[in-house]
Structure 1
Amino acid sequence: MATLETQSLMQQALAHHQQGRLPEAAALYQHVLRRTPREPDALHLFGVLMHQGGQHETGRQLVEAALQIDPMRADFLSNLGQILKALGKLEDSETAYRNALSKSPGFVDALANLGALLQERGAVAEAIGFLQQAVRKEPGHANAHMNLGNAFRKDGRVAEAEAAHRQAVSLSPLSEEGHANLATTLMDQDMLEEADCALKRALLLNPILAEAANSFGFLLFNQRHYTQSGTWFGRAILLAPGYAAPETGLAELAYFSGQLEQSLRHSENALRLAPEEPQIHLRHAIRLLAAGHLEEGWQEREWRHKAPDRVRRIGLPPVWQGEPLSGKRLLVCAEEGVGDEILYASILPEVSQQGAELVIECDERLLPVFRRSFPEALVHAYARAGDGFRPVQKYDWLPQDKPVDYAIDAGSLTLYFRRTLSDFEKTRPYLKPDPERVLQVRDMLGKTGDGLKVALAWRSRRSSAFRDVHYTALKEWLPLFALPEAQLFSIQYGENWGTEIETLERETGHAPTVLPDLDLTDNFDDILALVSSVDVLICPSSTLGWIGGALGAETWLFHPQPLFVQYGTESFPGFPSIKSFAKPFEASWEKTVSEITDALSAKAAT
C-alpha cells in the first residue's frame, strides 16, 4: 500500500474517531493494519479506541505494540498511562506518564494526566504543580483546568477550585465532566441553585454519567427531597458499581431516617471501595458513635488528621500515645470549633488527675473562661493563619524554660478517657463563670419582673443547607411566647438574629427580650453569666448546649435523632443537666416545640 493512501485512510479514520463514530474508525484502523501491521499510529489509535470502548487490556496490548516500534512517542506513553489507570495499575500508569514527560517535558496531555493521577493518589501538592505547569503552557487546555480544579478542591482550596472549573467549562462547554465538577465545587459553597443548573447540563449531555447522578442525589438530599435523593444514589450505583460516593449517600439517608445499622452497612461498603478517603471515615465515625460503638468510633475520628481542611500544626512536640503523664507537660491542642473545644474540655480534669501539667490551647474568646476554670494550667490562645479551608497553627509560643513533653488534639483524648459509657460518669461541671458578671446579669433579670426566666437560641451560628436541618426558625417558637408564666430572653449568637427578632415582633407582636450590653457572640463571660442566671436554657445541638452542660445548668436541647453525642442512649452521657427533646429528621419541629412548651408550663407551675 502506498504511503499516501495509508495517510489518507488514517486521516479518514481519525476524523471518524474524533467525531465519535467509533465503528467506522475501527474498521479503517483494522484495514490499515491488515495491509501494514507495523503502522505505529494505527496500532496506537486503534488501542485508544478499544480502551474507550471498555476493552482496556486489548487497548494496552495495541499501544504497547506501537511503542515497541516507536518508543520515543510521548503521546503513545501518555495514552498508555490512561489505559493502565483504567486497568487499576496506578503505579505503572504513573511510570508511563513520567516516561512521556522524559521524552517531551512540556507535553501538556501528560502533565494533565499525571496531575490527575497524583491528586487521586493523595500527592495533591505535587499534582497541583504539574497541573499549573500544564495550564501555563496551554491556557486553552480544558482538561488541565478541570483536573487542577479537582486538585484544588481536594486540597481544601475551594474558591480556586471553582475558578478552575469555571475556566474548564468556558473552554469546553459541551463537557459533561466539566459541568459535573463545577457543580460539586458549587455545592461545597452551598450555592445550590447554580449547582442544580450545572448538574442538569451535565446530565443532558450524558444521562449515564455516574458522578453527575451521585452529585444530583446529594443536591436533592441537601434540599430535603429524600426519596428522590435515594433514587439518584441507586442510579449512580447501577451506572458504576465500584463507585463509593453513592454508598455514602445511602448511608446518610439511612442515618437520617434512624436506621443506624443499615447506615453502617452502607458506609462499610463505601470504605471497602475507597479505604483511603478521610471524609468517608469521618462520617462512618459519626454513625458508629451514634450507635454506641465508642472505641471504634473514636478511632475512625482520627481520620480528621488526614482531611484536606485539617489544621496544619507547625512546631509540635511528639504526639501523646498513652504514656505515663506523672511529672510530664502535655499540650492539649484546640479543636477547630469552639463548641468542640468546650465539649472535650470535660476530659481535662481527668488528665490533670494523672499528674500531667497541662498547657491548654484555645480560641482567644475562651481565655478568661479556661484560665478561671483550669487555674493550674498554662492557657494560651492559638495563632491560626490561612483560611477555613487551609488553617495553619504555629507553636513557637510554647514555653522553653520547661519544655512540653507531648501534644494531643483535645478530641483525641477520647481514645484514652471515653472508651465506655461508664467513663462519662466521671464528668462533673467544669467551667466557672465570672461571679461578678453573674451578679450583674441576675440584677438585669430581676428588674424584668416575675416569672420563669428562659434563655432561647433557635439556631447555630453557621448556616448551610446541610446544617439547617438541625435548627429552627424563630417564628416556630410562637407557642412558647404565649406562656404568661415564662419570660423569654434571646441568647442567640452569630449574625442577623436582630433582624429575625424585629420581623417576628412586627408581624406577631411577640419577641424574646434582648438584654442590653451583653455580647452573646464573642464574649463568653457574658454567655456563661446569662446561662448561669436563667432557670432554663433552650437551644439546639450547638456550642450553647455544651456550655449549659459544662456549667451544670438546666438545659433543654432540641435536636433531630440520631445525635452522635448521645452515644446510643436517650440522654447526654457526661452531661446530666441536659435534657433531650428529639424528633425524627423528616418530621417538623411543631411537636417538639409543643412538648417543650408543655414542659415549661409544668415547670412554671412548680
Structure 2
Amino acid sequence: MSPPQTQSLMQAALAHHQQGRLAEAAALYQKILQQSPKHPDALHLFGVLMHQGGQHEAGRRLVGAAIEIAPDRPEFLSNLGQILKALGKPEDAEAAYRKALEKDPGFVDALANLGSLLQERGAIAEAIGLLRSAIEKAPNHANAHMNLGNALRQDGLVEEAEAAHRTAARLAPLSPEAYANLATTLMDRDALEEAGRALRRALLLAPALAEAANSAGFLEFNRLDYVAARRWFTRAVLLAPGYAAPETGLAELAYFSGDIETSLKHSETALRLAPDEPQIHLRHAIRLLAAGRLEEGWREREWRHKAPDRVRRLGLPPIWQGEPLKGKRLLVCAEEGVGDEILYASIYRDVMKLGAELVVECDARLLPVLGRSFPDALVHPYARAGDGFRPVQKYDWLPHDKPVDYAIDAGSLALHFRRRLEDFAEEPYLKADPERVRAVRETIEGTGDGLKVALAWRSRNRTAFRDIHYTALSDWLPVLREPGIDVFSIQYGDGWEEEIESLSKETGLGPHVLSDLDLTNDFDDILALVSAADILICPSSTLGWIGGALGKPTWLFHPVPLFVQYGTDGFPGFPSIRSFPKAVGTSWQTIVEAVRIALGDLRAR
C-alpha cells in the first residue's frame, strides 16, 4: 500500500471514529495494520478505539506498541494514561500523564487528564493548578473546564464549580457528561429543579450513562421520592455493575428506611468496588454504629483522616496507638465540628484515669467551658487556617517545659474507650458558669410560674435534604398554646428571628427571646440557658449533647435510625436524654403531640 493510500485510509478511519462509527473505523485501522504493522498512528487510534469499546487491556497493548515506535508523541502517552486509569492503575496513569508533559509541558489534554486524576486522588490544589493552566492555554477546552468544576466542587468552592460546569456545557452542548456534572453541582447548591433539567438533558443525550442515572437517583433521594430514587439507582447498577456510587445510594435508601442490615450489605458491596474511597467508608461507619457494632464502626471512622477535606495538622507529636499513658502528656486534637468536640469530651475523664496529663485543643468558643469542666487539663484554642474544606492547624503553641508525648484526634479516642455499650460513662461532664446560670434563671422566672422549656426547632444550616431532620417553628404551636408552659428560644444560626416574628404576627404566639444572650457564639450563654431551664427540647444537634453533658433533662426529637443511639432505644452515656423518634418521611405532628402530652404530665407532677 502506497503512502497516499495509507493516508487516505487513515483519514477515512478517523472520520468514522470521530462520528462514532467504531466498527467501520476498526475495520480500516486493521486493514492499515495488515499492510503496515508498525504504523504508529493506526496502532494508537485503534488502541483508543478498543479502550472506548471497553477492551482496555487490548487498547493498552496497542497504544503501548505505538509508544515503542514513537516514544516522543505526548498524545500517545496521555491516552495511555486514560487507558491505565480505566484499568484501575492510577499510579501508572499518573506516570504516563507526567511523561507526556515532559515531552510537551503545554500539552493541554495531558494537563486536563492529570488534573482530573489528581482531583480523584485527593491532590486538589495541584489538580486545580494544572486545570487552570490547561484552560489558560486552551480557553475552549470543554473537558478542562469540566474537570476544573469537579476539582473546585471537591474543594468546597461550589459557586466557582458551577461556573466551570456551565462553561463546559456551553462549549460541549452535546456532552452528556458535562450536563451530568453540572447537575451534581446544582444539587450541592440545593437548586434541585435546575439540576433535574440538566440531568434530563444528559439522559436524552446518553440514556445509558450510568453516572447520570446515579445522579438522578440522588436527586430524587434529596426530593424524598424514595421509590423513584430506587429505580434510578437500580438502573445505574444494571448499566455499570462495577460502579460503586449507586450501591451507596441504595445503602442510603435502606438506612433512611430503617433497614440497617440491608444498608450494610449495599455499602459492603460499594466498598468491594471502591475500597479506597473514604466517603464510602465513613458512611459505612455510621451504619455500623447505628447497628451497635461499635468497634467496627470506630475503625471505619478512622478513614476520615484520608478524606480530601481532612484537617492537615502540622507539627504534631507521634500519634497515640494505645501505649501506656501513666505519666505521659497526651494532646487531644479538636474535631472539625463543635458538636463533635462536646460529644467526645465525655471520654476525657477515662483518659485521665489512666494517669495521663491532658492537653486539649478546642474551638475558642469552648475555651471557658472546657477549662472549667476539666481544670486539671491544659486547654488551648486551635489556630485554624485555610477554609472549611482545606483546613490547616499548626501546633507551634505546644508547651516546651514538659513536652507532649503523643497526640490523637478526639473522635479517635472512641476506638480505645467506647468499644462496648458498657464503656459509656453516664455522669455529667460539663459545668456551666454558676453566675450566668443564676442571672438567666432570675430572668426566665420573671415570666411566670410555668414550666420553663428551652426550645430549638432546627439546626443552623438548612437544605431540602437536611430539613428531614428538623421541624419548622410553626410545628410547635400545640406546645406554645399549652397552658403552664413558658417556652424560650434557644435557636441559633441565621433567620430564626424572622421565623419568630412571622409566627407571632400570624398567630400571636411565639417563644420568649432573651435578647441579651448570644446563643450562636457564646457557649457560656448557651449552657446557662440550658441549665436554668427545666427542660431542653431540640433536634439531634450540638444542643442535645450540651444538655446530656450537663445532665439536664433533654428531649431530643429525631428521625430513626440515629447512629449515636448505637443500636439502642436511648443514648448511651447520656441518661438525661429522652428520645422522641419518628420514621423518615412521616409527619412531625405525632412527635409534637407526644411532647405536648409529656410536658403536661411533667407540669402536673
TM-score bin, normalised by smaller chain:
over 0.9
AA partner of residue 399 (structure 1): P
Three-state SS of the structure 1 residue aligned to 2:355 is: coil
Counterpart position of 1:100: 100
Separation of aligned partners in 2, 1:43 and 1:540 = 62
Counterpart position of 1:451: 450
Separation of aligned partners in 1, 2:431 and 2:190 = 37
Does 288-297 or 315-324 show the bigger shift?
315-324
- The answer to whether the Cα contact below 8 Å between 1:313 and 1:392 also exists between their aligned partners in 2 is yes
Q: 1:158 deviation in Å?
A: 4.0
Residues 137-184 of structure 1: per-residue CA shift (max 9 Å, x gap): 322222122223333444455444334333322322221111212222
AA partner of residue 231 (structure 2): T
Q: 1:103 deviation in Å?
A: 3.4
What TM-score do you get using the length of structure 1 for normalisation?
0.95
- The answer to whether the Cα contact below 8 Å between 1:156 and 1:308 also exists between their aligned partners in 2 is no
Counterpart position of 1:78: 78
Counterpart position of 1:406: 406
- The answer to whether the Cα contact below 8 Å between 1:470 and 1:560 also exists between their aligned partners in 2 is yes
Residues 563-605 of structure 1: per-residue CA shift (max 9 Å, x gap): 0010000001111110000001121111111111111111111
- The answer to whether the Cα contact below 8 Å between 1:437 and 1:525 also exists between their aligned partners in 2 is yes
Counterpart position of 1:120: 120
Counterpart position of 2:491: 492
AA partner of residue 280 (structure 2): I
AA partner of residue 280 (structure 1): I
AA partner of residue 292 (structure 1): G
Cα distance, 1:31–1:516 mapped onto 2, change above 3 Å: closer
AA partner of residue 403 (structure 2): P
AA partner of residue 593 (structure 1): V
Three-state SS of the structure 2 residue aligned to 1:515 is: coil
AA partner of residue 210 (structure 2): A
1:559 aligns with 2:558: yes
Three-state SS of the structure 2 residue aligned to 1:529 is: helix
Does 190-199 or 334-343 show the bigger shift?
190-199
1:509 aligns with 2:540: no
Cα distance, 1:245–1:535 mapped onto 2, change above 3 Å: same
Three-state SS of the structure 2 residue aligned to 1:539 is: strand
Residues 562-601 of structure 1: pairs in structure 2 closer than 5 A = 562-601=561-600
Q: 1:12 deviation in Å?
A: 2.6
Separation of aligned partners in 1, 2:74 and 2:439 = 76
Residues 12-23 of structure 1: pairs in structure 2 closer than 5 A = 12-23=12-23
Counterpart position of 2:25: 25
Residues 425-480 of structure 1: per-residue CA shift (max 9 Å, x gap): x2311111111111111111221111111111100112223321110001111111
Residues 76-125 of structure 1: per-residue CA shift (max 9 Å, x gap): 33323333333334444444434433433332222322333344344545
Separation of aligned partners in 1, 2:67 and 2:342 = 62
Counterpart position of 1:263: 263
Does 438-447 or 41-50 show the bigger shift?
41-50
Counterpart position of 1:224: 224
1:533 aligns with 2:532: yes
**Percent identity between the aligned chains?**
74
What TM-score do you get using the length of structure 2 for normalisation?
0.95
AA partner of residue 14 (structure 1): L
AA partner of residue 486 (structure 2): Q
Counterpart position of 1:139: 139
Q: 1:15 deviation in Å?
A: 1.9
Three-state SS of the structure 2 residue aligned to 1:336 is: coil
Q: 1:388 deviation in Å?
A: 1.3
1:9 aligns with 2:1: no
Separation of aligned partners in 2, 1:516 and 1:92 = 61
- The answer to whether the Cα contact below 8 Å between 1:118 and 1:126 also exists between their aligned partners in 2 is yes
5+ residue gaps, structure 2, are none
Separation of aligned partners in 2, 1:248 and 1:182 = 21
Separation of aligned partners in 2, 1:96 and 1:387 = 33
Q: 1:71 deviation in Å?
A: 3.7
- The answer to whether the Cα contact below 8 Å between 1:248 and 1:280 also exists between their aligned partners in 2 is yes
5+ residue gaps, structure 1, are none
Counterpart position of 2:541: 542
Three-state SS of the structure 2 residue aligned to 1:404 is: coil
Does 188-197 or 174-183 show the bigger shift?
188-197
Counterpart position of 2:382: 382
Counterpart position of 1:50: 50
- The answer to whether the Cα contact below 8 Å between 1:347 and 1:427 also exists between their aligned partners in 2 is no
Counterpart position of 2:278: 278
Residues 354-413 of structure 1: per-residue CA shift (max 9 Å, x gap): 222221111111111111111122211111121111111112222222222211111111
Three-state SS of the structure 2 residue aligned to 1:591 is: helix
- The answer to whether the Cα contact below 8 Å between 1:260 and 1:287 also exists between their aligned partners in 2 is yes
CA RMSD of aligned residues (A): 2.0
Counterpart position of 2:348: 348
Cα distance, 1:103–1:594 mapped onto 2, change above 3 Å: same
Separation of aligned partners in 2, 1:250 and 1:578 = 31
Separation of aligned partners in 1, 2:157 and 2:322 = 35
Q: 1:303 deviation in Å?
A: 0.9
Separation of aligned partners in 2, 1:233 and 1:188 = 19
Separation of aligned partners in 2, 1:119 and 1:584 = 37
- The answer to whether the Cα contact below 8 Å between 2:278 and 2:304 also exists between their aligned partners in 1 is yes
Cα distance, 1:55–1:523 mapped onto 2, change above 3 Å: closer
